[in-house]
Each structure stands twice: as C-alpha cells, then as structure tokens.
C-alpha cells in the first residue's frame, strides 16, 4: 500500500522528507492522515528572511502559515504609530492556522531579528487540497478549537491573576 | 412559417422537427418514395426471372431482368445512404437549435433557481440529455414514413400477386402488435426492479468496503456474507425474470415473422399444385415476406427511440421550466438613459419558503449621492443591494431608478445604467483585457456601432485606480517575447538589464540567481543548465530535445543518459505517489516538472515503471522520463533532491555540450551573454540576467519596484502593461489571487463608468492599502458622478459617505450622515463601539 517507503532509493535526505517530519509535529497537521501530509509537505516552500524583513504586517491578510526552522523573529503590535514588541518566535514555533482557514487580517506584524528560515504554506494550496477531502476539515477544526481552549486555560492559570483588566476580557473560548 | 411559442421549455418535442428543416424534410420524403419503389422492383424482377427468363430459357431476358435487379438494389442502397445523411443533418440541426435556445433560456433564469440547481445537471442536460431528442427529430418524419410505406408497398405487391395468400400471411402482424407490448411492459417493470436492486447492492458493497476495519475487527465475515448473499439471490431472481421477458419479446417476434414462410409454403404450395399460383410469384412472395422483417424491426426501434426521447426531453425541459423574470432587451425602444436617483418605497422581499428578508424599506438617494449600507451579517444589506440591482425580484413595494420601476425594466436598461460588483466576483477564462472589457461588452455589443469603446489609456487608468497595475505589469514581465514580432523591445530590455545590474545588482543578489557559466543554477532547469543558451533551432527546443539524436549522443558522451532517466523516473514516481489520490488541480503542479495535462499518461507510466526496469521501458516512455528530468529544477521542485554527483556531471556535461555545439552547429544556440537578449527567457529574467530564488511576496515586490523604476526611465512601461493584459487568467480566473479577482471586477465596472454603482462588499478580499486606495477613489473621482450604494462590513471606511443606513433584521433602523448618527448614539454608535 505505501509505495513511497520502499521506492525512494535515490531520494537522499531531500526537503520533502524533512518537511513531512516537521508537519507531523505540528498540532494543526498531525491530525491529518499521512497521505494528505505528504501533499502538504510537497506543497509548502522554504523561505529565507534577513534581519529586518517582515514575514507579515499588521492589518494585512497574507494568507500564509509559518513554521520556524531556524532564526528568530519579533511579534510586534503597532498602535497610534508606536511599536510594541509582544514576544519572540523561534525554531519549532508555528503560526497562522487561522490564516489557512479563512480570510483574516493579521493583528500583529512579524519581523525577523536574525537570519531566518521558515516553512510556508499558503491558504490557496491548503484550501485546494482540503476541498478534495472536506470530511477531514472536521478534525482540523477540532484541533484548532482544542488549541484555543488549551491556550485560554493556560492563560487563566498562569497570567491573568495579576492583571485585573485582562481578567475582565478573558473568555475567548466562549465566542 | 409559424410564430414560435414564447418559451423554449414549453415547446413540444415535435415542434422542433420542421422549423429550419422544411427543405430537408421534403427532400427526405421524395427520396423515400423513390427508395420504396427501388425496394419493390427486385421482387417483381425475381418473379419474372423465374417465370419468364428461366422457364422460357431466354438468356436475353435473364440478363435484362438481372440488370434491372442490380440497378434497383444499387439505387436502394445509395438512396438509403443519402437518407441517413439527411437524417443526421436534421438531427444535428435540431440538437444545435435546442442547445442554443435552451442555453439562452438558462442564462436568463433567476438567481434563485441556481441556489438549488447543480451545475452538473445543467451540463448533462445540455450535453447528453438532449441528444436522444435530437436523434428522434431526425427520424420523426422519415423513419415512420419509409417503413410504413415499405410495409404498405410490400403488402400491396403481395395482394397484387395473390390476395388470399397475402391476407393470411399479413394477418400474423396484428397478432404480434397485441402480444409484444404486453411482454415489453413486463420486461420494463422487471428492468425497473433490477435497477433498484442494483442500487441496493451497490450501497451494501460500499458500506462493507468503507467499514472493512469493523468487519475485520469484529470478525463478522459470516454475517456480512449472509447479508450480501440474500440480496444477490434476490437480484438473481429479478435478472432471470427480466431476461426471460426480454428474450420473450425477441423470440415471439421471430416466431411470428418466421411463421410467414410456413403459411406461404403450405397454402402457396397447395395453390401452386393446383395451378392457381405461379412458381415465380411464390418465390417473390417468400422474399417479400422475408423483407417485411427489416422495416418492421426499424419501426419497433423507432418506437423505442421515441419513448426514450420523449422521456428525456420532458424531464429536461421540466427541470428548466422556471419563469424568466425580466426581458432581455426592450422591443420597441432604445435602452433608457436613466436619471441616477434611487427611490425605494415600502420594499419587501420574501423568499419562496416564506422567509421575509426585507421588510418595508423606505429611502431615497439623489443623483450622485453615496450610501453605505451597514449591519451584521444576515441583516439584509446584500439582499437589498441585489434587489436594487435587479438580481432578486422584490415581492412587494417599489424601487424607482430615475422614476422607472426596476421590476419593469429590461436587463438592457439595467446594464446601460448600472454597474454591480458582487461579493465574490466571477472571472471568466480569457485574458485580463477580455475580462476588463466584460462589463463594457454588453453595452457596446450592439450592431449599430462601437462609439465610446475604452482606449488603452482608459484601461491603464482603471488598472491604476484599482491597484491592479502592478499585478498586470508583473504578468507582462513574466511574458516571453516573440523574436519575430517583438524584436524591437529586446534592445530596450538589455539596456534596462545594464542599469539594473549597475544600480541594484548587489543589493538584490540574495534574491536572484544570476546566470553564471561556472555555477550550477538551482533555479533553472536541467536543460537550461546543460546549455546556458537559447535555442535558435527548433530541434533544440525543450520539447524536442528528447528526440534530438545529436543531443542524445552528447548526453551519452557526458555519461548523463542513465542518471537523467533515473532522475526522471524518481520525479514521476514521487509526484504520482504524493498526488495520486487527488483530483488534478493546477495548484498541485506548480512544484512538479510534470504538467497537469500529462497527468494520466504519467500515472500509467509509473505503473509500468513499478513492473519493469528503466532500460526495458519503451522508447517513448524513456523520452518522456528524459523530458521531465530536463525540466527539473531543484530549487523549485523540492520533492526530489539533486544528488551532488549528478550536479557535477551536469556541470561537466555543460562544458562538453557547449563546446561541441560551438564546433558542430554554432547557429543552433545563442549562449547567454550579458550583452544579448535571451528569447527563451521571460522579460523579467532577461532584466535580471538570472532567475528569482524567492517566492516571498515582499522580496519580489522589492525586485519589481526597482525594475519598474528602470522601465519608466526607458519609457516602455505601457508596452509591458499591454503585454501583461494578454495574460490568460485560467478557468474561473484561477491563476489570479482572490484579491486580484476582486480588483479586476472593480476595474471592469469602473471602466464602464456607470451612473449607478452598487458594490456588495466589493473590497473584502483586498489588503488594507488597496482598500484605502479604492475608498479614496470613490470619495474623489466618482463623488457626485455616480450614485453609489456600498454594502460595507468594515466600519472604518464609511465616514465620508453622504449617508449611512444601518440595517437589522431586514429593516433600515437608522439612516443619516455618519457624524449625525454617531452623535445620536443609536445603532451605528453601538455597532462601531461593538467593533472596538
């Protein structure tokens, strides 16, 4: 059944194999069957960024998801012309699940602070592929919903106790 | 000619038979008369050959009668052929007319219809369902005529030979007419049961296959087998009955038809013995009896075609029998030029199922005013826009455009006065330019002239306005110049190249892989790497290379044949392995050297590859593998890695190949040189003298910006844009991004420059910059010129509209200037606050 395993003699450690291993580690993709992961591993591309390059900018809908292979980037929020660095992204981080699912404007900018290599998948590719297996969207949504839940649970436990203003606004898992 | 009924869907099947085919049908009847005569004549000749020529032993008569016999047989066959040609022409005429008329009708059906209609159903109706109806139309007059005439002629001839014998032998046919329909009815009902049972069995098999893990996990093999066995047994029974009846029809028919000769032998024999029937007449009788069978069979077949045709025709027409809501064009006047005011009174819209989407809407807009419609999703704002745009038919109340009731205007009146940009605009296959002209086309698509057709400047202006200019320019830059037609541009491009390398070369080096004789180019393909040149001789074009003996010999010398074949094999295998379970889609093929249209062949090849060794493949297969290997570029096709050894072999091969070509066939290639234009590469790559390495939009943007600057300096920006406008957008515009499609839809409406513009969330897929640009444009360029209704979901762009209407549950609950409504602290205030 699985012909790729036995027939890949000349394929040395190619990007495709590495991409596949990466996708299997990402919560958003790991719920999908291997056949589909292979398609995504094939469709995603690697991009290099230089320090100062923007991966995406606030208010734009770039329609991409990123996985950080190496390097660092800062998440920045700009309000009234003032930039505030929220946190840093680094190797192993994944961002952009919601961008894959629908048109959404980014509320932040992401700016490379060191030379950076990312694995990128566009919404167009994701949607075209998932359209052929609509029944699998259910597990993708499940994964995202669990992630949002988990995120809020952690936030309540760790952070919000000291911040009264935050506490009033929590409840994103109730939307 | 009679006046045609109003609607194509109300026409009867027979109404198609004559219109447009009168001449053909008349000639057909004439030919049929001749044919019948030519069919009967041989019978008479048979009789005379036996009675006169043979019994009187006269050779001259024998030859004479045989001659006539031969001529009439030849004539009959020839005529039959001509008749079938005419029948085919009639069938195809009718089919074409049906398709055209039905398609025209389908296009005018209300949008509501398409919410339920499946595109597949429409396709199969137009493509397959109507064909039997067409076939029938070809046969409708000719088949019964020819066969009944023939039957009557034979019968008449038989009566002329011997009335008693004729009446008795023909008497068999009425019996057949009674028995066969009874059997056929039973066969039909058995057939229906068979179809049903097939459906049951397929769903059972389907379930067993998809639930196979449960069956194996629970070990319910025996249970499943019993379940399956029961249905199979039932099906067996049904199939037997069905076959019995089906065969029964055949056997009965054959039986009665073959009873004919029996009657003739027994009765005719008796009569002949007593000298009341000549031997020749009996021979003629026998063959006439036999020949009766063919027209008889054809008549029965015709009956079946008729039954099928009437069913599929009726079903098809009933499906599309939906009243058309608006006339296409006014009959007795020119299209109105309406004053662009909008006056809505007590407007309501209720769906077929009784859900009220709009409820007593009242509002007026003066010419040139701009209105923003806001509210939550489902509040009815899009519905209102669609009603004003005549895309939905409102159920009560009035919408007056320049004092004319919208529901009474024709489509032509609407397109002359209104532009509508929908939420998810549709782009048709064709070039950017064709799509840009799409809205204008309907206005200018009249026989009486083409005044006011947009110029290139107009088109460029709207491209600028909508922010599509940069995209179109990019398409232009990615085009390949034709040496024969566009040679004059080449010099300019080379000039830009020099400036580019001087001013930006170093800065952009990270994003570009420059052509370099001494390096392997990861973003160019293997063929380009082998030559680093543009072929002047078509025999060296990329598609021809695998067949080019000289090239193959060079590959052999460079020890590259086997490695490249095996690379090709690996590429094919990997692509099929990854994409094999998907329905092919252009998106999937951008990163593989295999193209979409080769997909099926590639799959079969990979199947063969699993069974045989590379060297045992056919010549053709090996050529194909070589072709995809030559297209492979490791920077883009990351599904397979380029082994270091192969890379070095190709680099060595490059030196060898270039040297050999220089020696043997120097005119075959123009090798890449910084001073020459390269005709095999895009304009962009020519300027770069290399290939971009990145697909990062921001980096690409930087490269484009620098190039645009240089092109403006050289003054051929417009030329490139013009080339870019010829870019083919693909089916449904799928080579464009969502944003580009939306910009194109806005651009085509701007180009038409309508008096009334309706934009239904027209900028929702655009990035911030483009959205702001278009908003500014609406507020400056179009302000006062067009009356604008904008359905808006982002509230930060509505401040400068003359009026804002807030909708909730199908009603306008608040309307006024933005600031006025904010100060009032009502619904808009809440909506804006709620968004923050």
CATH classification of the domain holding B739: 3.40.50.300
Q: Which residue of A has its CA nearest to B576?
A: A4
CA distances from B125 to B115, B135, B136, B413 (A): 17, 15, 16, 31
pLDDT at A7: 38
For residue B11, the SS3 value is coil
pLDDT at A126: 94
Does residue B4 carry a pLDDT above 60?
no
| Torsion, Cα of B275, B280, B284, B287 (10° steps) | 110
pLDDT at B679: 86
CB contact under 8 Å between A128 and B588, yes or no, is yes
Same domain, yes or no: B43 and B58:
yes
Q: Rounded to 5, what percent of chain B is helix, strand, coil? A: 65, 10, 25
B431: which DSSP letter? B
Q: Which residue of A has its CA nearest to B639?
A: A16
pLDDT at B452: 62
Same domain, yes or no: A76 and A109:
yes
Same domain, yes or no: B538 and B683:
yes
Residues of chain B positioned with their CB less than 8 A from the CB of A11: 570, 574, 640-641
Strand bridging mode A73-79 / A82-89? antiparallel
- Contact (Cβ atoms closer than 8 angstroms) between residue B378 and residue B404: no
CB contact under 8 Å between A7 and B641, yes or no, is no
User: How many Å lie between the alpha carbon of A143 and the closest alpha carbon of chain B?
Assistant: 23
Best probe of the B interface among A10, A40, A108, by most B CBs < 10 A, is: A10
Band of pLDDT at residue B355, cut at 50, 70 and 90: confident
Same domain, yes or no: A98 and A114:
yes
pLDDT tens track for B300-322:
788 778 877 887 888 888 888 88
Query: Kindly report the CA angle at B834 between B829 and B836, in degrees rounded to 5?
Result: 105
pLDDT at B276: 80
CB contact under 8 Å between A128 and B567, yes or no, is no
Band of pLDDT at residue B273, cut at 50, 70 and 90: confident
pLDDT at A11: 43
Same domain, yes or no: A109 and A76:
yes
- ipTM summary value: 0.83
Range of the domain at B206: 163-276
Q: Say if B3 falls within a structural domain.
A: no
Band of pLDDT at residue B680, cut at 50, 70 and 90: confident
Does residue B451 carry a pLDDT above 70?
no
Q: Which residue of B has its CA nearest to A3?
A: B577
pLDDT at A119: 95
B236-245, B269-278, B651-660 — which is least confidently predicted?
B269-278
CB pairs under 8 A between A and B: 90
Same domain, yes or no: A10 and A93:
yes
CB contact under 8 Å between A38 and B738, yes or no, is no
Q: Say if B813 falls within a structural domain.
A: yes
Domains in chain B, number = 4
pLDDT at B24: 86
pLDDT (mean) for B723-741: 87
Q: Which of B651, B680, B714 is the C-terminal boundary of a domain?
A: B714
Does residue B181 carry a pLDDT above 60?
yes
Range of the domain at A34: 3-132
**Residues forming a β-bridge with A121:** A65
Does residue B5 carry a pLDDT above 50?
no
pLDDT at A160: 62
| Torsion, Cα of B164, B170, B174, B175 (10° steps) | 90
Q: What percentage of chain B has pLDDT greater than the value 70?
A: 98
pLDDT at A29: 93
Q: State how far the Cα of B741 lies from the Cα of B764, in Å rounded to an integer.
A: 11
pLDDT at A101: 92
Q: Which residue of B has its CA nearest to A36?
A: B578
Query: Cα-atom radius of gyration of chain A, to the nearest Å?
Result: 18
CB-neighbour burial class of residue B576 (10 A; exposed 0-12, middle 13-18, buried 19+): buried
Of A14, A107, A120, which Cα lies nearest the Cα of B699?
Answer: A120
Q: What is the mean pLDDT of chain B?
A: 85
Same domain, yes or no: B568 and B710:
yes
Does residue A1 carry a pLDDT above 60?
no
pLDDT tens track for B100-158:
999 988 888 888 888 777 777 788 888 888 888 888 888 888 888 888 888 888 888 88
Instruction: Give the one of B573, B578, B638 whose C-beta lies nearest to A14's C-beta.
Output: B638
Same domain, yes or no: A100 and A168:
no
pLDDT tens track for B604-647:
999 998 888 888 888 899 999 999 999 999 888 888 888 889 99
Q: State how far the Cα of A128 lies from the Cα of A122, in Å rounded to an integer.
A: 10
Band of pLDDT at residue B6, cut at 50, 70 and 90: low
Q: Say if B284 falls within a structural domain.
A: no
Question: Would you state the structure tokens that stand for residue A6, as one six-digit string?
Answer: 């036995």
Same domain, yes or no: A120 and A175:
no
pLDDT at A9: 40
CB contact under 8 Å between B577 and A12, yes or no, is no
Residues 609..638 of B with a Cβ closer than 8 Å to A: which?
A: 610, 638
Helix ranges restricted to H, B618-643: 619-631
Q: State how far the Cα of A7 lies from the Cα of A10, in Å rounded to an integer.
A: 9
Which residues, in sequence order, are CB contacts of B520 under 8 Å at separation 6+?
Answer: B529, B647, B650, B651
Same domain, yes or no: A88 and A171:
no
Residue B768 contacts A where some CB pair is shorter than 8 Å: yes
Domains in chain A, number = 2
């Amino acid at each position: 059944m699985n012909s790729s395993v036995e027939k890949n003699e000349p394929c040395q450690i190619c990007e495709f194999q590495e991409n596949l291993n990466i996708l299997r580690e990402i919560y958003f993709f790991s719920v999908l069957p291997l056949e589909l992961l292979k398609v995504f591993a094939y469709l995603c591309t690697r991009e290099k960024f230089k320090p100062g390059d923007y991966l995406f900018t606030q208010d734009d809908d770039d329609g991409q998801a990123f996985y950080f292979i190496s390097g660092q980037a800062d998440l920045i929020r700009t309000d009234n012309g003032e930039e505030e660095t929220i946190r840093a992204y680094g190797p192993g981080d994944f961002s952009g699940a919601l961008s894959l699912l629908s048109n959404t404007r980014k509320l932040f900018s992401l700016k490379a602070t060191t030379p950076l290599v990312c694995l990128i998948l566009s919404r167009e590719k994701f949607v075209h592929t998932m359209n052929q297996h609509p029944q699998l969207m259910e597990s993708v949504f499940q994964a995202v919903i669990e992630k949002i839940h988990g995120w809020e649970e952690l936030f309540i436990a760790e952070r919000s106790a000291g911040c009264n203003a935050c506490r009033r606004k929590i409840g994103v898992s109730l939307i | 000619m009679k006046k045609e009924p109003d609607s194509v869907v109300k026409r009867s099947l027979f109404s198609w038979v004559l219109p447009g085919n009168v001449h053909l049908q008349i000639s057909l009847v004439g030919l049929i008369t001749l044919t019948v005569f030519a069919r009967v004549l041989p019978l008479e000749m048979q009789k005379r050959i036996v009675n006169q020529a043979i019994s009187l032993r006269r050779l001259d008569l024998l030859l004479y009668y045989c001659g006539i016999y031969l001529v009439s047989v030849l004539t009959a066959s020839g005529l039959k052929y001509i008749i079938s040609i005419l029948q085919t022409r009639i069938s195809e005429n009718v089919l074409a007319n049906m398709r055209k008329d039905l398609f025209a009708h389908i296009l005018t059906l209300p949008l509501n219809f398409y919410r339920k209609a499946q595109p597949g159903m429409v396709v199969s109706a137009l493509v397959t369902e109507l064909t039997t109806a067409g076939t029938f139309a070809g046969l409708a007059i000719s088949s019964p005529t020819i066969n009944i005439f023939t039957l009557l002629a034979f019968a008449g001839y038989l009566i002329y030979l011997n009335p008693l014998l004729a009446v008795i032998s023909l008497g068999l046919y009425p019996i057949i007419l009674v028995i066969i329909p009874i059997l056929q009815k039973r066969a039909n009902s058995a057939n229906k049961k068979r179809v049903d049972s097939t459906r049951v069995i397929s769903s059972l098999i389907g379930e067993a296959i998809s639930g196979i893990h449960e069956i194996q996990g629970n070990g319910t093999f025996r249970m499943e087998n019993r379940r399956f066995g029961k249905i199979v047994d039932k099906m067996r029974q049904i199939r037997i009955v069905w076959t019995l009846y089906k065969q029964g029809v055949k056997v009965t028919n054959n039986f009665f038809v073959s009873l004919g000769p029996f009657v003739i032998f027994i009765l005719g024999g008796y009569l002949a013995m007593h000298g009341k029937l000549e031997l020749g007449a009996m021979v003629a009788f026998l063959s006439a009896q036999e020949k009766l069978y063919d027209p008889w069979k054809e008549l029965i077949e015709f009956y079946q075609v008729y039954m099928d045709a009437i069913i599929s025709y009726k079903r098809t027409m009933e499906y599309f029998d939906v009243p058309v809501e608006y006339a296409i064009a006014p009959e007795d006047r020119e299209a109105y030029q309406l004053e662009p005011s909008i006056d809505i009174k007590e407007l309501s819209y209720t769906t077929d199922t009784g859900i009220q989407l709009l409820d007593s809407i009242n509002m007026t807009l003066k010419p040139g005013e701009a209105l923003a419609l806001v509210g939550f999703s489902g509040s009815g704002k899009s519905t209102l826009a669609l009603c004003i745009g005549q895309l939905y038919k409102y159920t009560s109340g009035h919408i007056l455009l320049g004092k004319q009731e919208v529901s009474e205007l024709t489509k032509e009146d609407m397109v002359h006065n209104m532009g509508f940009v929908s939420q998810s605009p549709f782009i048709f296959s064709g070039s950017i330019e064709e799509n840009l002209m799409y809205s204008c086309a309907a206005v200018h698509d009249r026989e009486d002239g083409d005044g006011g057709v947009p110029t290139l400047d107009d088109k460029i202006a709207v491209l600028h306005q909508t922010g599509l200019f940069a995209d179109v320019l990019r398409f232009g830059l990615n085009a390949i110049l034709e040496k024969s037609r566009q040679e004059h541009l080449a010099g300019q491009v080379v000039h830009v190249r020099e400036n580019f390398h001087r001013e930006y070369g170093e800065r952009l080096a990270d994003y570009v892989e420059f052509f370099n004789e001494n390096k392997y180019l990861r973003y160019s393909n293997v063929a380009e790497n082998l030559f680093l040149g543009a072929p002047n001789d078509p025999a060296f074009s990329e598609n021809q290379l695998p067949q080019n003996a000289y090239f193959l010999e060079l590959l052999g010398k460079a020890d590259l044949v086997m490695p490249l074949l095996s690379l090709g094999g690996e590429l094919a295998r990997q692509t099929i392995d990854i994409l094999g379970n998907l329905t092919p889609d252009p998106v999937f093929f951008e990163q593989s050297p295999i193209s979409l249209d080769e997909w099926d062949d590639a799959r079969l090849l990979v199947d063969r590859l699993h069974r045989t060794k590379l060297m045992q493949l056919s010549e053709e297969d090996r050529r194909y593998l070589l072709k995809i290997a030559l297209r492979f570029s490791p920077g883009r096709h990351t599904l397979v890695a380029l082994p270091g050894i192969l890379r070095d072999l190709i680099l060595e091969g490059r030196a060898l190949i270039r040297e050999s070509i220089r020696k043997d066939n120097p005119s075959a290639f123009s090798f890449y040189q910084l001073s020459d234009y390269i005709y095999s590469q895009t304009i962009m790559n020519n300027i770069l003298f290399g290939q971009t390495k990145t697909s990062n939009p921001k980096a690409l943007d930087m490269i484009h910006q620098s190039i645009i600057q240089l092109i403006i300096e050289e003054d051929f920006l417009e030329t490139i844009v013009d080339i870019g406008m010829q870019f083919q957008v693909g089916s449904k515009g799928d080579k464009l991004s969502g944003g580009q499609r939306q910009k194109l839809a806005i651009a085509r409406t701007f180009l038409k420059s309508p008096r009334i513009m309706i934009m239904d969330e027209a900028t929702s897929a655009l990035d911030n910059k483009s959205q702001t640009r278009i908003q500014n444009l609406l507020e400056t360029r179009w302000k006062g010129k067009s009356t604008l209704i904008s359905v808006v979901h982002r509230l930060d762009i509505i401040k400068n509209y003359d009026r804002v209407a807030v909708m909730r549950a199908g009603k306008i609950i608040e309307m006024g200037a933005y600031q006025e409504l904010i100060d009032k602290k009502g619904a808009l205030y809440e909506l804006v606050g709620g968004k923050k």
